[in-house]
Amino acid sequence: MARNPEEAQRVVIPLGSEEALAFLGQADRNLKRLRSLFRTYLGDEVRLVSRGEQVEVLGPPEAVEKAERALRDLLALLRQGAELDEATLEQAVRLAAEGEGLYQATEPELELQLPGRLRPKTPGQKRYVEAIARHDITFGIGPAGTGKTYLAVAMAVSHLRARRVKRIILTRPAVEAGEKLGFLPGDIQAKVDPYLRPLYDALFDMIDAERFEQYLQSGIIEVAPLAFMRGRTLNDAFIILDEAQNTTPEQMKMFLTRMGFSSKMVITGDVTQIDLPKHQRSGLVEAVRILKGIEGIAFVYFKESDVVRHPLVARIIKAYEEAERGGGGAQ
C-alpha cells in the first residue's frame, strides 16, 4: 500500500555496543551536531533521538530517508576506521540532502593501498583513488580542499611501502600566487621550500620525521621544483605534479615525457586558480584538451561537494563560482 507522503516516518538504526560512543561522540557531541545539521539541511520537522545502542529518526518520509542515508554513510565510515569529525558530519548530511552519499566501501585491494585509517570520504575521492590504482597517469582536477594532493601522496606512500615503486618524487612549478616574495636568503633548497611546503605537510602526516629525513638523504623521497625534472627519465617511481594549473604547455609536456618504466604519475590542479601571467596558457588546460581519450590516462574531476576542509570552504567555493557565472567575479 502506498504510504501517505504527509505521514510521519520512523527509522531505527542499531549501533554496536563498542561503536555507540564513537558514533554519538563524547557527551553526545556528534549527536548534537547532527541534530543541528538536520535542522539546517532537512528542516525543523526531522528529529534525531538516541535510545541506548540505537538512534531513531522521525519526521516526513523524504527527509527521514535522507537523514537515514547520512547516518548509514557515517556509520560505514566509522566501521572502516575513519574518525567522525565536524567536517565529515556536515559533508554527509549536505550530500544526503542533495540526493548523494558519501562513499561507503571500495574494493579490498584499494582499501589496502591507503595508509593508516585514511579512507576516501566522498564519491569523487573514491573515483580518484580507484583511477590512480588502475592507471599509469591520473589527472585530479578540482577546487581546493578536495584531497587531490593529500590522497595522491597517500597512494605514493602506500606504493612505496608495498615495494611497488622504489622512490617518490614530488614536484611543483615555482610560481608566486599573486605575491612578490622578493629575495629569499639561503641555498637553493631554502629558496624553493616555501613553494613545496604543502607537499611536505602531507608527507609529515604519514611518515615520522626521522624516517622522512632518512628517505630524503637517501633519495627515496625527492621534493623539488618542476624545473629540476628537465632531462631526466624517472623509472620505478611514483611521481606527483602538484598545482599543475601553473605549468606552461612546454613544462607539462616536459614533465609527462619524464615517465619511465614501472612508474606512476599523478597530476593535480585547480583550473580556477591559475597564477600565470594573463597572456600565458595553462599546461593543465592544454593537457586536458590534447590527452583526453588516450588509453592509460584517467581524468577525475572534483566538485565543491568533495571538499573535506572546514565546512565554510565548500560554501566559499560555491559563492565564488556563482559570482563568476553571474559576471561578478574579481577583475
Q: Mean pLDDT in the chain? A: 82
User: What confidence tens digit (pLDDT) does each residue in 91-140 have?
Assistant: 888 888 888 776 654 444 454 466 766 778 788 888 899 899 999 999 99
* Residue type for position 120: P
- Annotation: CATH topology of 9-97: Ribosomal Protein S8; Chain: A, domain 1 (3.30.1370)
DSSP bridge pairs for 237: 167
Task: Tell which CATH classification among 3.40.50.10420, 3.10.180.10, 3.40.50.150, 3.40.50.300 matches the domain 108-325.
Answer: 3.40.50.300
Q: Which residue has the higher pLDDT, 212 or 103?
A: 212
DSSP bridge pairs for 58: 10, 47
In the chain, CATH 3.40.50.300 sits at 108-325
In the chain, CATH 3.30.1370.10 sits at 9-97
Calculate Rg over the CA atoms of the chain.
Answer: 22
Residue found by looking up cell 633548497 in the block: 189
Rounded to the nearest 10°, the torsion over CA 87, 317, 135, 111 is: 0
The reported pLDDT for the residue numbered 180 is: 42
- Going by C-alpha positions, the residue among 222, 235, 220, 233 that lies closest to residue 160 is 220
